[in-house]
Amino acid sequence: MPDEPVTSDEKTVSSEHHWWHRWFRLPGELREMGVVGINMRNARFLLPNNPRRLYELVDNKLRTKALAEEHGMNVAETYGVVRTPHDANKVDKMLNGNESFVIKPTRGSGGKGVLVIDGKNGKNFVKPSGAELTPGDLRNHVSNILAGLFSLGGKRDYALIEYRVCPAALLTAMSFQGAPDIRVVMLHGYPVMAMLRASTKESDGRSNLHQGAIGVGIDIATGITVRAIHHGNPVTTHPDLGIELIGVQIPEWDTILKMSVTCQEMTGLGYLGVDIMIDETKGPLMIEVNARPGLAIQMANGIGLMKRLEPVVEQHRLKPNADMHAKIAFSQHHFRAKLPPVRT
């Protein structure tokens, strides 16, 4: 691949410092940096590219998983599905001796209602934080899921019990308690931006950035972390663990990119986010597909999404039938970040 600088060092208005940057940015400055707002994302990328009927494929995790398995993708093993309150008593049988597992609503969003169990202590279940749940607490959580408490629009729901991912040691070192996941945002099957979300003490095991998790931008070309933000401000080390966050090579990056493109191909959604976790023994596992990925990823990467989306729109117009390899090559070539020195 030719070694050419992709981002030039042009001096722009937005890079100068002004007094108001402490409080806000002018719309013109954001536009110049290519920042995409919610209205823009919805009107220009979600509505035209994601037909409503396809949402069911990704809003229902059972269907997404089945689809992914058809396409030969690795997903977390399903231990069982609780469909009726009566089944809630059979959770033990479904676990089949596995002591660690995850219970999640099949139609949940944004990590709502996800319960992670690390192991057992006598009859009780132990969460990663060390808190214990009685079997009654667990049943109650399941019945909340069944009643639709966490699902989109409060629809009745099923509870999915699956393998608890043991993230690779490299990644657990970067996260306080929770397992970090990798989000790749795609347009028309081109990976446009990626980040790793690591939880902090403040975010309490969750990976939502507005709850205090850390967003770590990843270079699409190499899979090396380039930048990290906490509450919107750049950081270089984890606030609780002190570990360096930048310059980390994410393992099996090529597999991750291929999985992301496959997710786009299997769902048919034009604009989507793919969430992936890397298991120590099983490698990258597809966790979920999100049809309305958020905008914090551009802050984690320090690049406005528009700068990545517009070239893709143009490329897609020129070559509507590009295959997976061509798409990945295009993204890796055009979206290469300026790399910090690689940590060894």
Partner 1 sequence: MSAQAKLIMAVALLIAVGGGMAGYKSSKLGVPFWEGDQVNEWLVESRVSFLATGRDVKARLALPSIAVESGSGQESGSLDYHYNVEDDRGEYTAVWSSGAREDGQALYYRVRFKEGLNSGGEPIASVEKPNAPDVPKLPGSLGTAAQSIVTRAKNVAADPDSLFVALFEQINSGASSQEYLIVKRHYEKEGIANPNIAMGIDLLGLAGVPARPAYGVSLRDQNSGQIPVPLLEYYDGALWKVRNPANPSKILDGRELFVWHRGGGSLLDVDGGDNSRVTFTVVKDRIPLATLTDLQDSPLLVSTILALPAAERAVFRYIVLIPLGAFVVVLLRNIVGIATLGTFMPVLLALALLELPLVQGLVMFSVLVAAGLWFRFLLSRMNLLVVPRVAACVVIVTLLMMLMGVLSYQLGFSVGIKITLFPMIIIAWTLERMSLIWEEEGKRSAIVQVSGSVIVAVCAYHFMKVSQIQYWAFYFPEMLLILLAGILLIGRYTGYRLSELIRFKSFTNA
Identify the three-state secondary structure at position 262. Answer: helix
Residue 231 Cβ vs partner 1, minimum distance, rounded to whole Å: 9
Contact string (CB under 8 A) for partner 1, positions 282-311, x = contact? ----------------xx-xxxx-------
Q: Which of 69, 90, 234, 268 binds partner 1 (CB under 8 A)?
A: 234
Query: CB within 8 A of 235, min separation 6: which ones?
Result: 214, 228, 229, 245
Least gap, CB of 221 to partner 1 (angstroms): 14
Considering only 52-60, 90-98, 232-240, 326-334, which stretch makes contact with partner 1 by CB under 8 A? Answer: 232-240
172 binds partner 1 (CB under 8 A): no
By CB under 8 A, residue 106 contacts partner 1: no
User: Using CB under 8 A, which of the segments 120-128, 141-149, 162-170, 277-285 binds partner 1?
Assistant: 141-149
User: Helix crossing, 324-334 with 253-267: angle to 10°?
Assistant: 120
Q: Which residue in 97, 136, 242, 320 binds partner 1 (CB under 8 A)? A: 136
Measured in whole angstroms, how far is the alpha carbon of residue 270 from the centre of its chain?
Answer: 17
From candidates 107, 188, 227, 327, binder to partner 1 by CB under 8 A: 227
Taking the least distance from each CB to partner 1, the nearer of 22 and 53 is 22
Give CA–CA dist 129/176, Å, rounded: 10
Please report how close the Cβ of residue 25 comes to partner 1 at its closest, in angstroms.
5
What SS3 class is residue 236? coil
CB 22 to partner 1: min, Å:
7
Other C-beta atoms closer than 10 Å to the C-beta of 58 total 24
DSSP structure class, residue 339: P
Strand order in the sheet with 119-121: 119-121, 124-126, 132-133
Q: Which residues of 254-291 are buried (b: 16+ CB within 10 A; e: fewer)?
A: ebbbbbbbbbbebbebbbbbbbbbbbeeeebbbbbbbb
Which residue among 167, 189, 205, 217 contacts partner 1 (CB under 8 A)? 217
Q: What part of residues 8-47 is at the interface with partner 1 (CB under 8 A)?
A: 14-15, 21-27, 30-31, 33, 35, 37-40, 43-44
Residue 220's SS3 state is coil
Least spacing, CB of residue 169 vs partner 1, in Å: 28
- Encode 74-137 in three state secondary structure: CECCEEEEECCHHHHHHHHHHHCCCCCEEEEECCECCCCCCEEECEEECCEEECCCCCEECHHH
Q: Count of CB atoms within 10 A of residue 174's CB?
A: 22
Q: How far is the CB of 333 from partner 1 (least distance, A)?
A: 18
Pick the binder of partner 1 from 49, 100, 124, 143 (CB under 8 A): 143
Positions in the binding site for partner 1 (CB under 8 A) = 14-15, 21-27, 30-31, 33, 35, 37-40, 43-44, 112, 136, 140, 143-144, 147-149, 154, 208, 211, 217, 226-227, 232-234, 298-299, 301-304, 337-338
